[in-house]
Amino acid sequence: MELHMGKRIEMKYKGELFEVVIINPHAFGSNKPSIGLGYRMQERRAGITHATLRNWLKMTREENCDDFHETDTVQYLELPQSKKQFAVYHLPFDEADQKSGRGNLLNDYYKVIEASDFIDLCFNALAFEKLSPLTKNKIADFLRWFTIEGFYAQAYAFIKGAYEAADSDALHKWLISRLTQTPERKPYAKFIVDLHQNPAFWTNYTYLYLFGKIAAEMRIEWKTIKGAEQIARNHIPEAVGLEAVGFVERQVPEIYMEKLKEAHDTAICIARHKFKLPIPDSIDEEKLYSGATQKLTPTQISEIQELYQDGYYTQVEIAEAYGVTPKTVAYHCRLLKKDRP
């Protein structure tokens, strides 16, 4: 590609189309140019309007009393509150733009701010300038979207030895979902607790119906078999298993309709197909109601609360009577006003 000052290039960054303009074709070495964004692209991506940028530029000229002509290359824009200045390059249009008539429409030159300067301008505008809440929100969303991938790319390169296109696509989808979802989805455990249910029980329920084993049993299996050369045909790798569990926990709050078991069953069914998991040979539901995983019925919870509120028994005594831990009793009685040991 032949590079020259003012050349306009259309490129995709994280799935979004950008028009960038070459400022210096060889700023960082042969054919390693410095690039910038025009006013139109800045407005489209970050929400800082063409009129706002033009006014800031105009005010700077008046305050600095600099002689400036359209034939000059660089003019400086100063933010009203922070007083920080940024170079605005006046660059000639591409020959193709001149032929199309686009150049004549915009005075035959681009007004361009170098990309890193524009990010800096956004941070300063967000921190110091008087802008509408809508504009500030759009700037914040742009900065979050624009900057976070670099950090993750470095982390992935260190962890995996490479940062690949598939990593970028997955991260991009996650970032977009974060920016567009409202309200923020509750974490799974908090969602379960808000329903006055036991998160440990439902985690074990998910494991049992996905793998035929409760969580503790699967962790032992993964630890035992990790690195072994011979792996059973139906063995589910830890990475796949954890991804499937995570999928269920993300889906349950979304599809919950008054019945928590139905929400889990539906999410588990989808996860089994999505991750191509084999159907467990057998499912022993008794594992859900034994030892530390025991689940109290609503009737038992009411009985425990009444005993606790009457004050005749301690948490330890009640726990022993129902075969649970004192912490379980404390959890179910946490909203009761009566102060008890």
Locate 218 and state its tokens: 């699967």
20 and 111 part of one domain: yes
Instruction: For residue 140, tell me if it sits in a domain.
Output: no
- Distance between CA atoms of 123 and 278, rounded to whole angstroms? 50
| CA-closest candidate to residue 112, choices 36, 56, 61 | 36
Domain count along the chain: 3
Instruction: For residue 145, tell me if it sits in a domain.
Output: no
Q: Please give the sequence-ordered ranges of beta strands (E in DSSP) within 14-93, or none if there are none.
A: 16-24, 34-38, 74-78, 85-92
327 and 284 part of one domain: no
213 and 119 part of one domain: no
Other Cβ atoms less than 10 A from the Cβ of 253: the count is 18
325 and 279 part of one domain: no
Alpha carbon of 13 to those of 10, 149, 311: distances in Å?
Answer: 10, 11, 65
271 and 306 part of one domain: no
89 and 194 part of one domain: no
User: Residues near 135 by Cβ (< 8 Å), separated by ≥ 6?
Assistant: 47, 48, 49
Expressed as residue numbers, the domain containing 196 is: 188-291
| pTM for the model | 0.46
Instruction: For residue 141, tell me if it sits in a domain.
Output: no
pLDDT in tens, the chain (341 residues): 678 888 888 887 766 788 888 888 888 777 788 888 888 888 888 888 888 888 888 888 554 445 545 456 788 888 999 888 888 888 886 665 555 555 444 455 788 999 888 889 999 999 988 888 888 888 988 887 777 777 777 777 777 777 777 777 766 666 665 555 444 445 787 788 778 787 888 989 999 999 999 988 888 888 776 555 444 555 788 888 888 998 999 899 989 988 999 999 999 999 999 999 999 988 988 888 765 555 677 777 888 888 888 887 888 888 877 777 888 788 788 767 544 44
226 and 282 part of one domain: yes
